[in-house]
Amino acid sequence: MTSAELDQRVVIVTGAARGLGAVIAECLEQASASVVRVDIAGGDFAADISTAAGNEAMVAHALQLHGRLDGIVLNAGVQHVRPLTEFPEEQWDRLHGVMLKGPFLGLQAAWPALAASGTGRAVIVSSTSAIAAEPDKSAYVSAKAGVMGLVRATAVEGGRDGVAVNAVLPGWMRTEMAEAQLRTAVDGGLDRAEAEARMFARQPVKRFVETGEVAAAVRFLLSPAASGITGVGLPVDLGLLAQ
């Protein structure tokens, strides 16, 4: 890939104020894309992407700024960890609203513009948890698994509209979400090294996935080099799903 493989392409990135979303946005800008950063906390545009109105507004904003939309990266995410019998219904609804309903609404709002682009591409951030489940994360795991069904279904529809839809499946990344879970483990009596070792137990490579590694995969899926790829989930997981 070159530093200009996304030249003149307009891409929305959600959840872009910090963490993985901010790194993805920067990576795409380095490839000469025009990036519209969307986040409920602010950025280029503030929107609640769990609502139809928020998704419609972010797409309208991108079109007003640039007159076109070539790609969308649906990255916004939240987490809540509790055993099934203690999991609050409102947290289930919140996680599914942001991470499953949100991507559905985002694709729905962006689809006409992506189809008009001629080479429209969407990438949704799923997770290795969609395939290799973890305890106490029933809402997160089911939402991320649902994303994979959404990717496959919309990729089939995209074949007739010229829109490619894919996902990336990151393993454990050094993000605020992972740090929060580490703190919870430490507060529960583990030392940090033991908590990290438990995170990495199923990975052949015993380290965090770097956010830049995931961003590079997203950049590839948005690029002309991935023109033959649609309907897949690309793991960036240091071998976790290989076992």
Render the chain in DSSP notation, one character per residue. --TTTTTT-EEEEES-SSHHHHHHHHHHHHTT-EEEEEETT-SSEE--TTSHHHHHHHHHHHHHHHS---EEEE---------GGG--HHHHHHHHIIIIIHHHHHHHHHHHHHHHHSSEEEEEE--GGGTS--TT-HHHHHHHHHHHHHHHHHHHHHHHHTEEEEEEEE-SBSSHHHHHHHHHHHHTT--HHHHHHHHTTT-SS-SPBPHHHHHHHHHHHHSGGGTT--S-EEEESTTGGG-
User: Is 132 in the same domain as 189?
Assistant: no
2 domain-assigned:
no
Axis-axis angle for helices 102-117, 138-161 (nearest 10): 20
User: Is 15 in the same domain as 71?
Assistant: yes
User: Is 113 in the same domain as 185?
Assistant: no
User: Is 105 in the same domain as 157?
Assistant: yes
CATH code of residue 44 = 3.40.50.720
User: Is 201 in the same domain as 188?
Assistant: yes
89 domain-assigned:
yes
For every one of its 243 residues, what pLDDT tens digit does the chain have, with 9 covering 90 and above? 556 789 999 999 999 999 999 999 999 999 999 999 999 998 789 999 999 999 999 999 999 999 999 999 999 999 998 999 999 999 999 999 999 999 999 999 999 999 999 999 999 999 999 999 988 999 999 999 999 999 999 999 999 999 999 999 999 888 777 777 778 777 777 778 887 887 788 889 999 899 999 999 999 999 999 999 999 999 999 999 998
User: Is 42 in the same domain as 112?
Assistant: yes
199 domain-assigned:
yes
- Which residue of the set 111, 140, 208, 220 is catalytic? 140
146 domain-assigned:
yes
132 domain-assigned:
yes
Question: In terms of residue numbers, what domain contains 179?
Answer: 173-208
Is 132 part of the annotated catalytic residue set? no
Structure tokens at 159: 């074949």
User: Is 186 in the same domain as 152?
Assistant: no
User: Is 100 in the same domain as 24?
Assistant: yes
Among candidate residues 164, 183, 179, 175, the one with its CA nearest the CA of residue 225: 164
CB 6 within 8 A of CB 225: no
User: Is 104 in the same domain as 151?
Assistant: yes
37 domain-assigned:
yes
Q: Which residues contact 191 (CB under 8 A, 6 or more apart)?
A: none
Task: Please tell me the total count of domains within the chain.
Answer: 2
